[in-house]
């Protein structure tokens, strides 16, 4: 079971398309200030976080370099959704490792 606060935050985000203020912090502004490179991967057949939902989140990352990817059933070679993708996560793990290896360490 999810904590009530998490469910409340999800409901707020679903209704408004915005993140709620968290402990007095404007989460929307904080996300806009992020500059860390982001690999954002959505899964085929994920009814909890569809591709469009992650696209919406990525659009908020205005200062961060975003690499947007979709993990497909064809790439996985197995069914996918919000939970079972882990059972076919090898190709995605390689993609994440390649992304991380290509990052330039801060000076």
**How far is Cα 52 from Cα 49, in angstroms, rounded to an integer?**
8
At residue 91, the 3 state secondary structure works out as: helix
Percent residues over pLDDT 90 in the chain: 78
Q: 63, 44, 45, 56: which is closest to 18 by C-alpha?
A: 56
Element (H, E) at 70: strand 66-71
Q: Is the pLDDT of residue 1 over 60?
A: no
List the domain boundaries for the chain.
Answer: 1-30, 34-107
Three-state secondary structure call for residue 50: coil
Q: Going by C-beta distance under 8 Å and a sequence separation of 6 or more, which residues neighbour residue 97?
A: none
User: What digits encode the pLDDT tens for the residues 67-85?
Assistant: 999 999 999 999 999 999 9
Residue 28 has pLDDT above 70, yes or no: yes
pLDDT for 47: 93
């Amino acid at each position: 079971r999810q904590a009530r606060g998490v469910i409340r935050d999800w409901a707020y985000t679903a209704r408004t398309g915005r993140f709620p203020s968290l402990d007095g912090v404007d989460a929307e502004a904080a996300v806009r200030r992020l500059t860390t490179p982001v690999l954002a991967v959505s899964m085929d057949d994920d009814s909890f976080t569809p591709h469009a939902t992650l696209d919406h989140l990525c659009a908020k990352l205005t200062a961060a370099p975003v690499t947007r990817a979709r993990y497909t059933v064809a790439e996985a070679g197995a069914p996918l959704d919000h939970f079972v993708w882990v059972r076919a996560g090898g190709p995605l793990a390689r993609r994440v490792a390649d992304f991380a290896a290509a990052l330039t360490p801060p000076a």
